[in-house]
Every structure is written in C-alpha cells, then in structure tokens.
Structure 1
Amino acid sequence: MRYYLNIFLNYIIKLESKIAFYPTIMGLGGVVFAFLMYYIEGLGISSYLTKNTPLLVVKDTETARNVLTTVIAGLISIMVFSFSLVMILLNQASSNFSPRVLPGLISNRRHQIILGIYLSSILYSIFTLIVIQSAGKAYQLPGFSVLLAIVFMTVCLGAFIYFIHSISQAIQVNNIIDKIFSKAINRLENLIEKEENYEIGFPDTSNWQVLKSTKSGYFQNLSLNNLIDLTKQNECRFEITPIKGSYVIKGTPIIKYDKDLDEESRSQIQASFFFSKSELIEDNYALAFKQITEIAIKAMSPGINDPGTAINAIDYLTDLFLLRMNKKDTSYYLNEGQPVINIKTLSFSELLYNVMAALRTYCKHDITMVIKLFIMLRHLLHSDEKYIDSYRDSIIHEINNLHEDAIKNISNKTDLNRIELLYNDLINT
C-alpha cells in the first residue's frame, strides 16, 4: 500500500506543475458547489431569505437569467484575455530569456489559482442558470444562488486586477532570475541540511547487476521512499547511475544492485523513476545554474545586447556557487549508519566548467564581462566555505581557462593589462 501511495503522491507533484492542474480542480469544485446550492435551494433557503432578508434574493426570473448570462459572458471574456496574457508572457520569456524558464512560469501557482477562480465561477453560473425554472412561484427561483454568482463575479474582477499586476511583474527579467535563484537556494539548503556530518565510503559497484530503463526522457525525480523500503526488504544496496536532469535513453542502465531481485522488485524500481520532457528546479538545483547562464548568454547576444542583465546573472551565479561549495559531491542515503543508496550527482568541477565554458564562449570578447567573471572566481577562490579545499583546483583551472580565452580575443593594451593584473592577483594569492 505504501508503495502505491508514494507513486501516487509523486504523480500528483508532477501534475501540479501543469498549467491546467489548479484550474481543473477548482472548476470541478465550482460544479460541486453548484449542485450543493441546488440541494440547499431545495430545502427552501431562497424562500426563507425572501421573507427575512429580501435584499439578498433575486426574485425575478428574467432578471436572474440576464444577470447569469452577463456574468458568464463577462467571465469568459476575462478568462480568454488572461490566457492570452499568459501566452504572451511565455512567448516573450522564450524569445528574450531562455525556453528553459517556461516550465517555471507555467507552474506559477498564483496564475493557476486565478484562472481556476474564473473557471469555477463560470461553471457555477452555467449550472445555476440551467436550474432556473421557466415559470412558477418565487421559491422555484434559486435567488440566493444568483446572488452568489454576482459575488463570485466581483471576486473575479478583483482577481483580474491582481493578475494584471502579477503578470507585469513576472515578465521582468530581474524577477525571473530572482525566482529561479530562490528555488535553487531552497533546494540546495535542503540537500545540505540532510547531508551527514561524517564521511562514509560506498563499495565498488563495477560487478553489480544492472537494471536498464524501459523508457526515454529526462530523469526528473526519484521515489526514494520506495527504494529505501526495497533495500530493507531485500537487504541490498543500490547505486543510481544517471545524474538527475540528464536525458536517459531507453535501454541504458539506470540502477545497480548487489543482490538478486525478483521480477516484482525490479518492476517497483522501474516505477520509482520519474521521467519527463521538461525539467523543474524544485527537483534539480543544477537546472538553475543552466537557466541563469542561458539568460546571461541571451542578454549578450547582438539582438538583445543587455550586458547589465548578464552582470546581474553572474552575481546570482556567484551566490549559488558559494552555497554549492558547502555540499559534497557525493550523496548517500543511510540505513542504521550504513550507506544503502548512492545517488550520482553533478560534481562541483563539472558544474563550474559547464557554466564557465558557456560564458567564456559568448563573453570572452567583452572586457566588462571578463572582469566580472574574474571577480566571481576570486570570490569563490577566497571564500571560507565548507569544502573550499576540495574545489580549489577546479576554480584555479577555470581562472586559467578564462585568462587564456581573454588574451586571445581582446586586443586593447589597457584591457590586456587589466586582465593580467587580475589574473596575477588571483594566481599569486
């Protein structure tokens, strides 16, 4: 039962990032509430309110129909306009920043909830309109339900005003970078907090049995609870071979194990791997480095030519690297003090190289960007972070790479002298 519960919860978490998730749930809620009000109307709430508080009840059938028709038409117009704004936002973000930021914008919970408010109000009004009797006494008219539709319309107008404000903020590049940065910080801090304070080795896995993937896609997430349960049941250990965020091709190894496992256990292992065609920072902090780097590169392109944004992006990358230096390159999960699951992670050296290689390629001709990159590497080299000694050689290697590219692509003597001063200061200290 726990196995299926974990799979279900991970599936729900994956669905939550879809733009239609909250609107669908809230739309169904609007339908259910409409039927609930139909039941309450059958108990005579409108006739009771007509006698005691007549101002709260719509008494005329035609007026009720006109009100509901107007509410439905108005809300549909607002919802279409809002969806159009979302599409414009996504298109502009893809063109000006990076297509990789789209999943994060689509999964914006506030926008999803606002669209859900629209949809639930529309469905509620439609079903309320259906139950209005064509003729009859006043108590046959769901007057109180019509009043609630007016209230929901007012709420939707307020939500629309907030939506306009939110969408105008979401399209600003500083807010996009800051949101990516905040998600990565939360993810990294959570991983660092879970790390053990002592070093434990993991046995050699070269001769372990291998389980291959039955599907292709980006390795998005892993149900660790299921794998931990399997290690206890079978008294075995696992090594996860792909790095989270990497693209896994069908038929390639995804896990190694040191003991024979039955078919059911192997099927449960396969079901514990979640693949997707998109990536989320909540599952993989390394994606934040990739996204912020791509935003910086796009800002340096001739079509956009925004070095200020690129410099801001490097500042955020500096903070992320400093935090990453407090995390080990290994990731184990322990059972009774012994490592039972080894998860391969992107090493600091590889992460720094990937970021610097991209930035060097597109920014090596710009003296301001080169100086900013030297300053970033100086902060990393002179930091007092937890694992600075382990990562020092990687930082020095990237300093040398940046220096080599810069002197080959910059010809101005003053700029070259400045580069040499920075380089010598870094290497000799």
Structure 2
Amino acid sequence: MVYVLSQNRKPLMPCTNVIARLLLKQGKAKVRKREPFTIQLAYETTDYTQDLTLGVDTGSGTLGAAVSRENGEIVYLSEVEVRNDITGKMTRRAKYRRNRRSRKTRYRKARWQNRANSIRTGRFSPTMQSKLHSHVKEIEYIRSILPITEMVFETGQFDPHLMKNPNLADPKVRHWGYQKGSNYGFENTKAMVLNRDRYTCQSCKGRHKDSKLEVHHIVFRSQGGSDDGENLITLCHTCHKALHSGKINSVFHGKTNGTLKYATQMNSIRKQLLNLYPDAIETLGYVTKANQLQLGMGKKHYIDACVIATQGNEFSLKSPLYKKKCIPAGDFQQAKGVRSEKPITTGKISGFRKFDKVRYLGKEYFIKGRMTKGYAILMDISGTKADFSAMPKGWKTPKLKKLKRLEARSTWMVTTVAVTLNIA
C-alpha cells in the first residue's frame, strides 16, 4: 500500500506497490516520505476520490487509528504511544533550578504567580497539552495523505466518583451517594481517619501514653501511596517515628494510587477534541466492545480503531501496522554531574543524533545513545537495548561509521509491523 499526493500535495487514493514502482521508474512521481511510503505525482491528474472513514481509539497512554473504505478494507493502520514523562521531567528541571539558585552567590527570590502563563484563563497543563497534541498530530497527518470524508472518535465521559465507589450504581444509593462521600461530616480526610480509629494508635493501642496522634501513609507517597482513607492509619508520635526509622515493622496493608487520573485526563481530551473537530461522530467504548465481541476480534488498540472506522462491520487489513512512539523534540540537558561539570554533546556525532533510525547488520534500529569515540547503543521502538554479544569481534559494539541512517530524528519514532487478525 502506497499513499499518493497530487502535484499540489492534495491527498489522493492510495495505489499498489506495482503502480508506484512504475510511476517512480518512469519519472512521473517522486518519493515524499519513506515510512509510511508516500509518493507525489509530477503531472496533473483528476481529484477523484472515494469515501474514507477515519476511526480513532483515543487514549491517555496509547491511541489507535484506522482508515476504512466503504467495503471494509483498512488502508491505514497505526498505534501511537503518547508521552507520560512530562511531569517527571518538569519536576527534575525544577529541582535543578532550585539547586542552582542556592549555589549562586546572588540570591534570587523564587517566582511563582507572576508569570502570565500560570494565571491565564483556560490554561491546559503541559501533560495534557502533550497528550492532546499527540492525538491532533496523528489525525492531521492521516488527513494529509488520505482524503478523509468522515471521522469517528471513541470517547467517553468517565465518572471517577462512580469508579471509586461502584455502590453508586444502585438507584437507591445514587440519589444521596454523590452528596455524602467518605469524608461527609468531617473537615478533612485526617479527621475522618482519626474518628474511624477512635483516636487510638493502631500500633501500640495507647500503651505509650503519647497524646500526640498522627496520620500515617501505609504505602508511602514516594512509592505511589494513595491519600485515600484506605491507605491511612492513626499512629502516635512515638510509633510513627519508630516506624520511619525502621525500629518497628509495619503490619498494615494499604493501597497505591489508582488509575483514575487517566479517566480524568480523557474527560479533558474528549472535550478538546470535539471542540477542534465539531463534525466528528462520537461513539462510546461499550458500543465498540459489543461490536468487537460480535466480530470475535482480539483486544488491541488498532483492532478497536478498525471496529470504530467500520462501525462494527467486517473488515480486512490491506495495510501494515505503523507503530509510533512520541519523543521529545530535542535534548535540552547541557551537562551532568553534581555541579554540571560534565558537558553533554547534544549535537551530531559522526553525523548521527539520538533517536535517529538506522540500519545495522540488515536490521532497523533506533539510536539509544552515542559515544564520542564513535560507538553507539541501539534499541528497538519499545526501548529494549539490542544485544550483539553473539556477533564476531568488531561487530559486538556498533560503530557509528558502520551504521546507515534511514530517517533523521523527529518528534516520534516510526516502525512498520506486519499484523494479522486474531479471532477470539
């Protein structure tokens, strides 16, 4: 399957590999992109196209996209892994900034609420911006190579309160359950936990005669512990201090943070996508699941996208799967070390950058790391390091001069995977 653009870069219907090869050999077309393979015609032609439906399985971690003809042929198929490292990177950047300010002789007062971006109306957090842009980028890319006439998005309005407390599904509980949560009648969660534990240390049961009571996270917050009452316990100051110093062992069972944050993120992404694409058709997850079970298909993001695009009808795959992974636009850390004494090369080394797609020993890899002495560390699209320990001497560690660059680094890594339909 080869995607075709007109002379003025308008998307046309895709053609077969044989037709594309003949057009390139006769000089009637030129290669526009290697993966997915796209050509641009060098002569004027008609703008006749057929109806194509784009189905998008939106997601906070992975999104799937598929384009279907009226007869159920899937002419484009992709699965995109969006970024979930924005928060961690910004936290690390803030740590470095605070450390740098404390090392300098000139004191600079910390600034917080004097930035226009932090107080503007309708502000979208950096994490949400990245996730939304990943959806928009894939949708716009597909529209740039295929004449899409209809779009169907699988979105859903999640109710985190109901997901946290399934009892609210009962009509007898629903009418008051949303008004009376677990902290109803208390000032905060701490007051609720103290009252639940009868203002008694749950470790020594009051034997230490310590009147100072504290609320302890059973699973530490640094380890992903939740702030819910199920992860909190009442301890006296003596037991609390002894537990953190390792003098006593915790015998309590807590809980980690759930995945409700992804449901909250999808509520925001849904609203933003529908604002950007008001003509798109909205479908829900339970509809897709019912159609998927009826067709007997396995559970995959790209399979869900096919079911969405065909609206539950039978389909056949005419396109391979393009797996994509969103990555940063560049490397912005200039140095490493306690005092930033070790500079990091962010430019090219022997003509290669990090995340460049290369060919080595007949296979395709991505550059995970480079060495100034001329060596490289390779990986696949999932980040797994390539192992060449079984190769003969001189080939165990890839040399940059032995690599052939296929594609330069961009804001996502792309690879092609052959897939088949799995009938459940």
Structure with the higher strand share, 1 or 2: 2
The structure with higher relative contact order (CA 8 Å, sep 6+) is 2
TM-score (ref. length: structure 1)? 0.21
TM-score (ref. length: structure 2)? 0.21
Structure with the higher helix share, 1 or 2: 1
